[in-house]
Chain A
């Protein structure tokens, strides 16, 4: 299966679930916007069709724009919502074809279903996502700390933009 046809197959598979599809032909890349409750079904469709493998789960933080600051600095594919959100990308790969499932969850309902029942290897990725972004994954088999130290405070998620720890962010004098 060439990468081109692989992408077409994926497009067909995900049509019933997608809110929007964005195709980047030259990169063999397909971005599929999903609503969080469609995630499990969409992954199941891919899994049942044996399409590719889960390469990574990446989180991207989209804090609500602060009034008085230039809020339009970022955002290419997605437009800015009012509410602070975490965008979660499930990246599937098959050969050169890359399929990205994009989901947005607001801070207030930062919850996603697990995909570990379909893809067992997702457990480490899900644990990382929980720790780094504070996205609650329902039904994931292990919820222990994976990366952060044991004495790390609850409710502090290092990869959220608002979290400023140590001297990491410029401008902070701590």
Chain B
């Protein structure tokens, strides 16, 4: 990776190994004293070659491969894929299956947002909030396990429908879980918007105007926190969203605080939608038949993952295996925003800024080295995080 080395400028690379989070990626920040003057990104530590691998697996095998692109938003990957393939095959899953897909997707969003809240709080040095939110996250993990039998990678989807049914008992358990979570989310909302020390780290940090967000192609909560009205669940409803519409949540703050608020508000929206679906659960079959060979053609399938718009391009040549699958994950869009928003900020804000977009490396793809002229010094993400926390003491 190319770096500019001059005597007044330090290059601070972050990555690829870092302990607090989960995945490797690599950034380099050029700093002038405290202020970041440039940023670049190198992915690929978790690049596994899935798109190529998918061309060698059958349509059914691919559900399991693509689901494993990401462990946090696994269900949406599978959903985007099966919706696309179903469209190619000219079938659509029964309403009950669509409803169960949507319930799982929203539960996954809750788990993902709570996970993010914890991680972001941790990056800000607010470990109490991290522990609390992860404790509460276990509630939704239990619910997901109750439905599917696994805490991660639910494998709810099959081509043409879903595998698991929801009975009254399970629905009641979900409702009880949601009641608890809703109460806790009110608490988090209060903490995030009123805690002075936390506000000092979030308010006005990483400001991104609507124009910038649009130009940089931001998606998901990152874009919506800059009042960009973009949500696939509303723009192009899929699965059960046409029958159970969600409300668009935006905020015009554009800073880190707004990103927290948007995500927390989305949680409430998720609770509401899940309850609505559970109350009016359509009756009927769980699956329809899908041929083993998918008719030739191509389809673009877009769904709203917890982090933003997930894009799938699927091309079939009429065989048992796909001809080409292109996956464009939301994190990739949001990288661009960090790289440009970072400029002008203090190095100490970087962990929070990065956490603010909720990056997901395995969806695409961190140790810190400081080049001071000739001598290089290694910084871990932990050091940088610590540096950020100390800086704001």
**B partners with A:** yes
Residues from chain B with a CB closer than 8 A to the CB of A61 are 324
Bitwise interface map of B from 331 to 352 toward A, beta carbon under 8 Å scored 1, else 0: 0110110001000000000000
B210 contacts partner chain A, Cβ-Cβ < 8 Å: no
B313 contacts partner chain A, Cβ-Cβ < 8 Å: yes
Contacting B at CB under 8 A, from A145-162, are: 145-149, 158-159
In the complex, are the beta carbons of A93 and B302 less than 8 A apart? yes
Also in contact, A120 and B340, with CB within 8 A (given A91-B313, A93-B302, A145-B42): yes
B337 to chain A minimum Cβ distance, whole angstroms, is 8
Contacting B at CB under 8 A, from A1-40, are: 3, 28-29
A159 to chain B minimum Cβ distance, whole angstroms, is 6
Bitwise interface map of B from 215 to 247 toward A, beta carbon under 8 Å scored 1, else 0: 111000000000000100001100000000000
B354 to chain A minimum Cβ distance, whole angstroms, is 16
A contacts with B, residue count (CB < 8 A): 45
- Of A28, A29, A55, A144, which contacts B328 at CB under 8 A? A55
- Of B44, B214, B298, B364, which contacts A77 at CB under 8 A? B298
* Cα distance, A58 to B313, chains bound together (Å): 8
A66 to chain B minimum Cβ distance, whole angstroms, is 15
28 contacts between A and B (CB under 8 A): A3-B236, A28-B236, A55-B328, A56-B311, A56-B328, A60-B326, A73-B318, A73-B319, A74-B315, A89-B313, A98-B300, A119-B217, A121-B333, A124-B41, A124-B332, A124-B335, A144-B40, A145-B42, A145-B44, A146-B41, A147-B43, A148-B47, A158-B49, A165-B49, A165-B52, A168-B49, A168-B56, A169-B56
Residues from chain B with a CB closer than 8 A to the CB of A158 are 49, 52
> Residue of B at shortest CB range from A74?
B317
A170 contacts partner chain B, Cβ-Cβ < 8 Å: yes
B2 contacts partner chain A, Cβ-Cβ < 8 Å: yes
Also in contact, A146 and B42, with CB within 8 A (given A96-B235, A120-B336, A121-B217): yes
Residues from chain B with a CB closer than 8 A to the CB of A29 are 300
Residues from chain B with a CB closer than 8 A to the CB of A159 are 51-52
Also in contact, A120 and B215, with CB within 8 A (given A56-B311, A147-B365): yes
Also in contact, A53 and B44, with CB within 8 A (given A74-B317, A76-B298, A144-B1): no
Residues from chain A with a CB closer than 8 A to the CB of B311 are 55-56, 91
> Residue of B at shortest CB range from A50?
B214
A103 contacts partner chain B, Cβ-Cβ < 8 Å: no
In the complex, are the beta carbons of A95 and B336 less than 8 A apart? no
Residues from chain B with a CB closer than 8 A to the CB of A76 are 296-298
A4 to chain B minimum Cβ distance, whole angstroms, is 13
In the complex, are the beta carbons of B52 and A168 less than 8 A apart? yes
In the complex, are the beta carbons of A96 and B336 less than 8 A apart? no
Q: How large is the interface on B (under 10, 10 to 19, 20 to 34, 35 or more residues)?
A: 35 or more
In the complex, are the beta carbons of A146 and B1 less than 8 A apart? no
In the complex, are the beta carbons of A120 and B216 less than 8 A apart? yes
Residues from chain A with a CB closer than 8 A to the CB of B336 are 120-121, 123-124
Bitwise interface map of A from 76 to 118 toward B, beta carbon under 8 Å scored 1, else 0: 1100000000000101010110101000000000000000000
B53 contacts partner chain A, Cβ-Cβ < 8 Å: yes
In the complex, are the beta carbons of B214 and A53 less than 8 A apart? yes
* Cα distance, A91 to B236, chains bound together (Å): 15
B309 contacts partner chain A, Cβ-Cβ < 8 Å: yes
A67 contacts partner chain B, Cβ-Cβ < 8 Å: no
A130 contacts partner chain B, Cβ-Cβ < 8 Å: no
* Cα distance, A28 to B333, chains bound together (Å): 23
Residues from chain B with a CB closer than 8 A to the CB of A28 are 236
* Cα distance, A170 to B318, chains bound together (Å): 17
* Cα distance, A165 to B51, chains bound together (Å): 13
Residues from chain A with a CB closer than 8 A to the CB of B323 are 60, 74
In the complex, are the beta carbons of B298 and A148 less than 8 A apart? no
B118 to chain A minimum Cβ distance, whole angstroms, is 27
Residues from chain B with a CB closer than 8 A to the CB of A149 are 44, 47
* Cα distance, A65 to B315, chains bound together (Å): 18
Residues from chain B with a CB closer than 8 A to the CB of A89 are 313
> Residue of A at shortest CB range from B337?
A121
* Cα distance, A96 to B324, chains bound together (Å): 23
Bitwise interface map of B from 294 to 320 toward A, beta carbon under 8 Å scored 1, else 0: 001110101000000101010101110
